Amino acid sequence: MLQAGTRQGLLTSVFRLPVPSHITSRLQAKGTTPPYSIKPAPPSSSRPLLTTMATADPAQQPESAHNVCIEQFSRWIPALSASSYKGQQGKIGVVGGCVEYTGAPFFAAHSAHKVGADLTYCISMPEAAPVLKGFSPDMMVMPYLPDTNDEQAASFRRYEPKLQGIIGRMSALIVGPGLGDDPGTVKVAIKIIKMACERDLPLLIDGSGLNIVAKDPSIIKGYKNCILTPNVAELGRLAKAVGVQLEGPVSTAWQEAAPQVAAAFEGPVLVSKGPADIITDGCTTLSCEVASGLKRSGGQGDIMAGVVATFVSWSRAAQKGPGGGLLPSVEALPITSNLDTASLLVSAYAGCAVLRTASNKAFRLKGRSLMAPDIIEHLAEALEHQFPNA
């Protein structure tokens, strides 16, 4: 049996903040590693970026942000009932899949399905479509993304009504896994992002989609129904695009700047992926440090995209129902963001916790041979582990 590492050393090295031992022991007793830091005020370069909620007296210790997020999110998980109908548990779209990359959009869509969504759609380039259909009969594949060559044939105009129809049905949309960088494809991806913004559709931008945003941040600036999920290399490109200076070569130390990068986007929530997943809108910052696996196979970020998008669609649906707002315990946290943004922060936190738990469980079985599909197979178990009463 392989052991996954604890996060305490990493938390200290990334944020240079000690984790109080009473928090460590309390959370480890629940089978979790110390999971949080929270920052109530906008970032300032002269102050530490994150502060813990620790107080001198453990009896006065506020409930951990981890527990609060998990409790809040558990109330948003839709009940399974004999009267529910197809689609109620989430209709998740993925825009991606090109000649080079077919795994990434599949991992994102398949993870959404495996964690609980009812329907998944993939809008891909025609060359990727047969491969994607072969991976899974569950995913509906629409080969409507043109490349530069067939853009001249106005293929977007041909498909625009169909795209409007599909996007109108979705409960969340992921743009970018395995999208590639063909200029014709990118143009259409930007049009799809704009369609989503016009409909106030929850949007998650990952992978190649982040390169589009890094070239023109105005595409997404100010859109509050959006989550950006960069790895550290992508974070660096986003930071440069919005004028945030990062020192030295690409490294996880860059994650300290995540709140400033998010603040510069003036709306979207940013999930900076790494040893800790930093979830921030620039006002409130959560750090998810639930134990993960130790193998960094490609595709883990794609899985996270599928899980987080599904969770956001659940939270949005629950908020429309009776009692769908934030629990008083969440309101008691120094979350300075509005209700919609706070629910994105909580949903993203829950998604990171589930992905990391699944990665940890899969790693214990597979060790060095762990690959993305092994993690996907543990998503349901990880969901149950984090939300036993849901």
Ligand X SMILES: NC(=O)C1=CN([C@@H]2O[C@H](COP(=O)(O)OP(=O)(O)OC[C@H]3O[C@@H](n4cnc5c(N)ncnc54)[C@H](OP(=O)(O)O)[C@@H]3O)[C@@H](O)[C@H]2O)[C@@H](O)CC1
Contact 142, 121 (CB under 8 A): yes
Q: List CB contacts of 369: < 8 A, sequence separation 6 or more.
A: none
Please choose which of ligand ATP, ligand X, none residue 179 contacts, taking the beta carbon within 5 to 8 angstroms, the exact cut-off set by kind: ligand X
Chosen residue from 90, 143, 299, 306 binding ligand ATP by CB under 6 A: 299
Q: Is 179 in the site for ligand X (CB under 6 A)?
A: yes
Q: Does 233 bind ligand X (CB under 6 A)?
A: yes
Crossing angle for the helix pair 258-265 and 232-241, nearest 10 degrees? 50
Number of CB atoms found within 10 A of residue 222's CB: 12
Q: Rounded to the nearest whole angstrom, what is the least distance from the CB of residue 301 to ligand ATP in the complex?
A: 2
CA distances from 331 to 7, 45, 97, 267, 326 (A): 27, 27, 40, 19, 7
The type of residue at 197 is: C
Residue closer to ligand X (CB basis): 72 or 301: 301
Nearer to ligand ATP, 176 or 202 (CB): 176
Beta strands in the chain (DSSP E): 38-39, 91-95, 119-123, 139-142, 172-175, 203-205, 226-228, 269-272, 277-280, 285-288
Q: Cβ of residue 99: shortest distance to ligand ATP, in angstroms?
A: 17
| Residue 208 binding partner per list ligand ATP, ligand X, none, with a CB distance cut-off of 5 to 8 Å that depends on partner kind | ligand X
Of 98-106, 131-139, 149-157, 363-371: span binding ligand X (CB under 6 A)? 98-106
Cβ atoms < 10 Å from Cβ of 197: 16
Residue 178 contact among ligand X, ligand ATP, none, beta carbon within 5 to 8 Å by kind: ligand X
Question: Which residue, 190 or 335, is less far from ligand X as judged by CB?
Answer: 190
The reply to whether 298 sits near ligand X by the rule CB under 6 A is: yes
- Tell me which DSSP letter residue 51 carries: B
In the list ligand X, ligand ATP, none, the entry touching 356 (Cβ below 5 to 8 angstroms by class) is ligand ATP
- Tell me the C-alpha distance between 50 and 32, whole Å: 21
- Out of 66, 273, 378, 385, name the contact with ligand ATP by CB under 6 A: 273
Report the DSSP beta bridge partners of residue 270.
228, 280
Measured from the CB of residue 355, what is the shortest distance to ligand ATP in angstroms?
A: 5
Of 105, 202, 209, 274, the one binding ligand ATP (CB under 6 A) is 274
Instruction: Please give the residues from 196 up to 225 whose contact with ligand X meets the rule CB under 6 A.
Output: 207-208
Of the two residues 23 and 128, which places its CB atom closer to ligand X in the complex? 128
Contact residue for ligand ATP among 275, 282, 306, 351 (CB under 6 A): 275
* Half-sphere exposure for 271 (CA within 13 Å, toward CB): 30
Taking CB atoms, the residue at the shortest distance from ligand ATP is 301
Single out the residue of 358, 244, 323 nearest to residue 76, CA to CA. 323
Q: Which residues bind ligand X (CB under 6 A)?
A: 101-104, 177-179, 207-208, 231-234, 250-252, 298-299, 301-302
